[in-house]
A and B are shown apart, each in its own frame.
Chain A
Amino acid sequence: MKGLLTTPLFWLALTLVVFEGADQISRRSGRHPLCHPVLLATPVLIGLLLLTRTSYATYWSGTQALSFLLGPAVVGLAVPVWAQRDLIRRLALPIGLALMAGAITAVVSAVGVLALFGAPHEILASIAPRATTTPVAMAVAQQLGGVPALAAVIVLIAGVIGAMTATPLFNAMKMTDYRARGLAVGVSAHGFGAARAFQVDSTAGAFASLGMALNAVATATLLSVLALLL
């Protein structure tokens, strides 16, 4: 029986079961950002690994097949961008300028504040891509010498914060243009922001998903250039 805990099948099956349970809770909460299935499932799985004294390497060997799908999923982000080509053409300059400003702000402010706490390079590299969608953040963090797991969790936290604060923040700013609101929440809080934006307004949702996809490319490019220069 003991050998079962080290088979790939066991951990893959368990991950799916735990995730499905977490997803049920998330659905019942009306998709509240704090009940995101990854936020619920991850601590449970970590607990199970600790309880069974299983190493992360064993867990990873069983579940990396799931992780592999992230690559084609990232490539596939080109499809929604292409679908919004008319929007991009019509508003190329405002979208481009806002995207650049947002991407730079996200990187500089995140790394800047964390540096004040004296964090070492690998932690700073993990937070630098925090505004991109999770798979891109993980890949970029790895390229920069960061920790993909940390990058994934930081991106999730950013998503929760963005999704919960966007509406009150923009109302306080008297920002009435739903194109600006959507784009901003997509650039800053990726998929979480887009999901939230679609709940508020369909124009905001379209701009948010555009902001998310474009910022994945913008931030990755920005950080690559920085990495080459520094």
Chain B
Amino acid sequence: MTRSIEDYLKALRQELEGCDPALIQDALYDAEEFLQSGLEAIEVTGGEDTLSLVIERYGTTEEVASAYRQIDDDPSPVRYKPQKTATPPVETSAPTERLKRVSFFGIITEPRAYASLFYMLLSLATGTLYFCWAVTGLSLSISLLILIIGIPVLLLFLATTRAISLVEGWLIEAMLGVRMPRKPRSFRDEGSWLDRVKMWFSDYRTWTTLLYMLIMMPLGVIYFTVAVVLLSLSLSLVAAPIVQLFIGDPMIWIGPWGAFWIELWMWPFFVAIGAILFLCTLHLARWIGRGHGLIAKTLLVGSL
């Protein structure tokens, strides 16, 4: 018998076991919204009867779970193609797409690869920011814990990490195409604020989020370096023969051996090698993006 909204959500979570954690989170959120709104609207004298009425309208946990499962089974829902209107559909929230096979040259038209590359470049900035925020907040609040003022500082700091994890989730979903929750983790209405604070501390995701913020620094540096080195190398190989024409000086300088002219017969090789390297960079970016998305998902969403 379902005695509270909590019970219903717990049952629904069990029913959805094995599904995408982000999907479970969405499902729980929807259920909570409905049941909460329903309870408010009914305004009867409370009690079990009222809740079971609302649940009857919402459906049993089995019915609801199977409706969500159907969506989850559909890996890439059909994007709706307008017939003649010019407005392209707004890219709102991509499902976690299975990494489909892309041919070696086909990558050039793969938007996800460019988005991942952009994410790699951006991650130096975000990674540094997260790291600084985590280290400053953590050391500040822990050292202030000796005084009573440390407690509110720590709580404030944890609240910001939750917000940051949500924003990073949006970023990752938009750029890497890995499905992330679009809403914050549900805060339960039950219990005093003390209970809720306790939940923050006992929730392991609070700590894995902090871990994510810390490792984003080295990861960001690596991603950025890889992206910059590969991009500049491949693009300069393509451009070198042409640029050489304009500046009239040799483009290649190798230490003590001096300068080398790119002879005319070498041109196609330079351009071809540069182009192939660029394609490889895009492939690599796509794989890194996918891998990073999974790391982020594990640490920020966890398995419910």
Q: Do A and B come from one complex?
A: no
Report B's interface with A, CB cutoff 8 A.
none
Report A's interface with B, CB cutoff 8 A.
none
